[in-house]
Amino acid sequence: MERSTIVRVHEGLHARPATRFVKLAKGFESDVELVKDGKAVSAKSSVKLMLLAVKENQEVTVRANGADAIEAIEALIGYLENPRAGLDDEADTQSPANDAGQEVVPAPAPESAPAALGRANGLRGVAASEGFAVGPAFAHFPPDIAGRGRMLQAEEIGGEIDRFRTAVRAVQARMDDALAQDSLSAGDRGIVAALRDIAADDSLTSEAEGLIRGGNDAISAVITAASTIAADFSAVDDHYLNARADDVHAVGRQICLVLLGQDDVSLENIPEGAILIADDIGAWDLARAPLKRIGGVVCGHGGATSHIAIIARSHGIPAVLGLGAQVNALRTAREVALDGNGGHVIIDPDAATRADFAGRVEAAAKERAGLTVFKTVTPKLADGRIIEVAANIGSLEEIEAALEAGAMGVGLFRTELLFMRHMHLPSEDMQAETYAALAKAFAPYPVIVRTLDIGGDKPIAGIEFPDEENPFLGWRGIRMCLDRPDIFKRQLRALLRAAVHGNIKVMLPMVSDISEVTRTRALVEECAAELKAEGVPHATFDLGVMIETPAAVLIAPALAKEVAFFSIGTNDLTQYIMAADRLNPTVAKLNDVTNPAVMSAIEMTAKAGVAAGIMVGMCGEAAGRPDLIATFVKMGLTELSMSPASIQRAKKTIMAMASGD
């Protein structure tokens, strides 16, 4: 039996989702395979599953053969379509990347570079976890492991296989013991679980046992098998899966150490505030280390998506990774200064540099502690104007974090996830319940709901999109919705029903012509008339537009007469103004909101809105940048919407403006 579906797992089947999928598959007797692009792999092998490189929104087929094949397919398809309803025993915070259609969490405003960075003792790597640190160097360079270098005799092979299998079981047992400890955070526990699965995966064990049968000693076999599988991960066109190569090497090392009867060099004795330096640190070792004592991490291997980086970020430890051979210059360092924001490392800093970094560390700690007081603050300017600082969210699960941060409502609720989570288009009732829950949670603050903003780059079930060479300039946003009133009216009816429960506002994405607003308003009126005739409670809502196309900027004065508010989407506006795809790294430098052309577009929009007496807000990435907030407010913006993590800092920035600081 087989059945196809679209994968809804965020970021695809990377380590932990693959682990969960395999755990589910192993609960069935049937042989189960996952098929993508004609290639089939066992659904009971996490390594093979990860190497299939299944990404979010791709189509796959689940194939099962056995007595419980029907049950297996139903369960596995259910997980792929709605992962959070399945094995959700650990929060899936492993990947730092957001969906391509979502704004990236705003970074703090760039600080001036430390003075010593241009000197000979300054190194540059990958900025993997933000923050500053200065402290004693703790060099962690365990000796390399090598095989015996001799071929086994035929009579030795059986015993060597047994020895290898015993070592694998021992590594699994160690990891199981670690998972049983309460000291592991949910995120670290998920990482250790993924490593444990790699240790037991048929891909690794079968490869190693095959080499042993060919006459290789167990240690040589493990090293070769791990290198082969790691090379497969490195060859995949996916930066996240590339980082799993380090995990395979880390697991291989643990198996080899058991075979040698040795323990790895311990991190237990790292001094308080020390900078951990290594060529490579296995996630297994780092997850068990006394993380509260580690001041920073510097590593030759790894990148922003490696498990080392994920652990460091989750524990607030500054980290610079990917130094390569440069890390050897730190072997004899006595002290290290670390800039996790810019990826800089300074060896044995002088007194001035130490003082500079110590000041940065102290300032960051004070800022974190001091920001919490702004949770309940309503930021006002000297003239009494209130600046609403709201949250950008995409699901009901994000409400708690937004409220905890002190969000003054929602400036952008992305409805795409509601559509993408299901194999069928969400019903009017389901949508109405979701929007009503939002309105109730943030009342009396406004909740601005963006109507469906989806196109050929983000397909959803139930809508057939044309093949487009450039979907960002194609059939998306309001263009698609107006062409599909059967879908659009269902959403508009749900929003009218939800407006009874709170302050719902609605904004239209990708507007480039006034007719798109007038046609939408006609549909809203049509929906309201239908609901009235049916006796369904409903209420009116303010209708606004996102300003994200150059056309919308140029007709802003006319648009302002037709709508109740503007919300500037700086991410798309920047890419369209600069004619530079924001997902294309080769033109990344052009995607700069501070470019005079983009800032002029924002100012033109603000002037048009202020002149018409409507609210002008911003829901793009730039809204949370402390270095730009004052400029936006002076332009006339009175609402800024951002990631919940940036809300308290933004409130502080606005209050400082009011006091003249």
What is the reported pLDDT for 54? 87
CB of 618 within 8 A of CB of 448? no
Averaged pLDDT, 522-538: 97
Q: What is the DSSP letter of 264?
A: P
CB of 602 within 8 A of CB of 570? yes
- Which of 13-17, 124-128, 618-622, 647-651 comes out lowest in average pLDDT? 13-17
CB of 489 within 8 A of CB of 526? yes
User: Which residues on neighbouring strands pair with residue 321, listed in sequence order?
Assistant: 126
List all residues 6 or more positions away from 362 whose beta carbon is below 8 Å from its beta carbon: none
Q: How many CB atoms lie within 10 A of CB 163?
A: 16
More confident residue, 469 or 278: 278
Q: How confident is the model at residue 105 (pLDDT cuts 50, 70, 90)?
A: very low
The pLDDT mean for the chain works out to 84
Query: Could you read off the pLDDT of 542-576 as tens digits, one per residue?
Result: 999 999 999 999 999 999 999 999 999 998 899 89
Which single residue is written with the structure tokens 């508010």?
565
User: Which residues on neighbouring strands pair with residue 122, listed in sequence order?
Assistant: 346
Q: Would the pLDDT of 446 be above 60? A: yes
More confident residue, 425 or 500: 500
Q: How confident is the model at residue 283 (pLDDT cuts 50, 70, 90)?
A: low
Taking 3-state DSSP, the helix, strand and coil percentages for the chain, each rounded to the nearest 5, stand at 50, 15, 35
What is the reported pLDDT for 459? 55
d(CA 428, CA 434): 10
Which of 641, 639, 633 is CA-nearest to residue 657? 633
- Which of 436-445, 449-458, 522-531, 605-614 comes out lowest in average pLDDT? 449-458
What DSSP string runs through 494-533? Answer: HHHHHGGGSEEEEEESS--SHHHHHHHHHHHHHHHHHHHH
d(CA 318, CA 71): 46
Which single residue is written with the structure tokens 């946003």?
477
- The structure tokens listed for 165 are 């299998």
Q: Would the pLDDT of 108 be above 60? A: no
d(CA 68, CA 62): 14
Query: Could you read off the pLDDT of 336-357 as tens digits, one per residue?
Result: 999 988 889 999 999 999 899 9
Which of 127, 589, 66, 610 is CA-nearest to residue 602? 610
What is the four-CA torsion angle of 541, 603, 582, 113, rounded to 10 degrees?
A: -120
Q: How confident is the model at residue 111 (pLDDT cuts 50, 70, 90)?
A: very low
- Which of 242-251, 344-353, 526-535 comes out lowest in average pLDDT? 242-251
d(CA 214, CA 153): 10
- Which of 76-80, 95-99, 330-334 comes out lowest in average pLDDT? 95-99
What is the reported pLDDT for 89? 39
More confident residue, 26 or 530: 530
Averaged pLDDT, 263-276: 81
Give the 3-state DSSP-derived string for 73-115, with helices as H, strands as E and coil as C: HHHHHHHHHCHHHCCCCCCCCCCCCCCCCCCCCCCCCCCCCCH
Active site residues: 307, 619
d(CA 488, CA 425): 11
Q: Would the pLDDT of 122 be above 60? A: yes
> Pairing relation of β-strands 503-508 and 446-450?
parallel
Q: How confident is the model at residue 113 (pLDDT cuts 50, 70, 90)?
A: low
What is the reported pLDDT for 654? 95
- The structure tokens listed for 592 are 């700069």
What is the reported pLDDT for 367? 77
What is the reported pLDDT for 239? 64
Q: Would the pLDDT of 646 be above 70? A: yes
Q: Would the pLDDT of 444 be above 90? A: yes
What is the reported pLDDT for 249? 82
By three-state DSSP, how is residue 64 classified? strand
List all residues 6 or more positions away from 174 whose beta carbon is below 8 Å from its beta carbon: 254
d(CA 7, CA 83): 9
What DSSP string runs through 388-437? Answer: EEEEEESSGGGHHHHHHHT--SEEEEE-HHHHHTSSSPPPHHHHHHHHHH
Give the 3-state DSSP-derived string for 444-485, with helices as H, strands as E and coil as C: CCEEEEECCCCCCCCCCCCCCCCCCCCHHHCCCCHHHHHHCH
